[in-house]
Amino acid sequence: MRIVICPQAFKGGLRGMEAARAIATGLRRVFPSAEFVLLPVADGGDGTLEALVPAVLFPTTLPSPLAGEGQDGGLHATSVTGPLGEPVQAPWGVMAGGSTAVIELARASGLALLPPERRDPLRATTFGTGQLILTALDAGYRRIIVGLGGSATNDGGEGIARALGARFLDAAGLDLPPGGAALARLARIDLSRLDPRVKEIRILAATDVANPLCGPEGASETYGPQKGATPDMVRALDAALRRFGEVIEEELGVDVLTRPRMGAAGGAGAGLFALLGAEIGSGADIVCDALGVDAALEGAALAVVGEGRLDWQTAYDKAPIAVARRARAKGVPVIAVAGSLGPGYEALLGQGIALAEAATPAGMPLAEAMARAAELVADAAERAGRQAATLFSLTVAPLS
């Protein structure tokens, strides 16, 4: 019997692989002779790099869906320009097989790189993320996955394009300064010096949001406040991104104002799509495709998903639902293990997840739950596994 374990990271508690191993520990008490495929997943945000580099299967007789031609993946680090101009050491990686580079925007241009009092979406730039793409190009990679979660920026991705040679000019023909606010004065986009290798590559931009570039549900109004934007700043940034979108349409004939997902990462989705030709898609699906989740699920007896908190938001095409959808298509039952179950989690039970088990006992202090995360998740997985055995007639070990 083979069981495929595909959790996301449990934010603040367990990394993706740590969560997968904890779940496997609990399930081994129920299914001691089972083979376990550990494929932690992500949705384009935090944990995407760790999910894809390296991809680890442990222990299983199933060959890795990422097996390449003798080239191994691995992690690297490059000094790049941080969101407010200071240098940062940004990790990036190469998937097993050696053909695909993986970049998380948050590692070079992320909110976590700045203390709350220094957050400034008017000036913050994605230039460092562009430098990581340039580094991957220089290293010979022509397929790049870019995770778009966790940005400190609201610059429409102009910083990314600028790092690759694009110019953003005002009415006098002068280069604009970096940052989202300056886009209000954008008059022309000059791509004549854009690195010609951009035309040779495939960029997959992975995001877990579908927000448009502008408006009430756009990048500035939805995410600007958490990046330090006041109401006045939100209005200014929204107007600046609208100008950015208008110039893109005027100069390039590309509509980024009405397409979904363009507002991802402070509008970086729009810049990647219009200026670099990136494909913007569901982060969970991009990660699942890259990891070969469909192949791993083939013939499995059970799949397990999980994250720190399952609630109504999970239903909006987050990683657990993406995995559950794929498992359901192959007739594989799915159970979920979570740190906690929040309001509306019941909606997931109609989307391919048969049952959900919370790891944290009621009333346990958060600090204790975090400290005991692996133990609690393993115990929850055991409880969920015994329920699944009854539901799906799976052979189990007797209770000791």
Same domain for 82 and 114? yes
pLDDT in tens, 334-385: 999 999 999 988 888 878 899 999 999 999 999 999 999 999 999 999 999 9
**Do 222 and 254 fall into the same domain?**
yes
Continuous segment of H or E residues that includes residue 7? strand 2-7
Q: Are 84 and 212 found together in one domain?
A: yes
The answer to the question of residue 174 being in a domain is yes
User: What DSSP designation does 397 have?
Assistant: P
Residue 362 and residue 250 share a domain: no
> How far apart are the C-alpha atoms of 76 and 340, rounded to whole Å?
34
Is 39's pLDDT higher than 80? yes
CATH number, domain containing residue 22:
3.40.50.10350
Residue 397, pLDDT score: 67
* Cβ atoms within 10 Å of 83's Cβ, excluding its own: 32
Strand order across the beta sheet in which 334-341 lies = 35-38, 2-7, 302-310, 334-341, 355-358
pTM of the model: 0.89
Between CA 110 and CA 100 the distance in angstroms is 22
Inside any domain, residue 124 = yes
- The arithmetic mean of pLDDT across residues 123-147, rounded, is 96
Q: Flag whether 121 is in a domain.
A: yes
Which spans in 110-212 are helix H?
127-138, 158-163
- The reply to whether 366 falls in a domain is yes
Of 284, 308, 329, the domain-final residue: 284
Please check whether residue 86 lies inside any domain of the structure: yes
136/265 same-domain check: yes
- Whether residue 155 contacts residue 266, with contact meaning beta carbons closer than 8 Å, is answered with yes
Q: Is 301 inside a domain boundary?
A: yes
**Residue where a domain stops, chosen among 234, 259, 284:** 284
- Bridge-based pairing of strands 167-169 and 143-147 is unpaired
Across the range 43-67, mean pLDDT stands at 60
Assign 398 a pLDDT band (cuts: 50, 70, 90): low
276-314, pLDDT tens digit by residue? 999 999 999 999 999 999 999 999 999 999 999 998 888
Structural domain of residue 382, as residue ranges?
A: 2-39+292-392
Query: Do 346 and 380 sit in the same domain of this protein?
Result: yes
Tokens of 264: 């991802």
* Tens digit of each residue's pLDDT (9 = 90 or more) over 199-252: 999 999 999 899 999 999 999 999 999 999 999 999 999 999 999 999 999 999
Give the CATH number of the domain where residue 247 resides: 3.90.1510.10
Count of domains forming the chain: 2
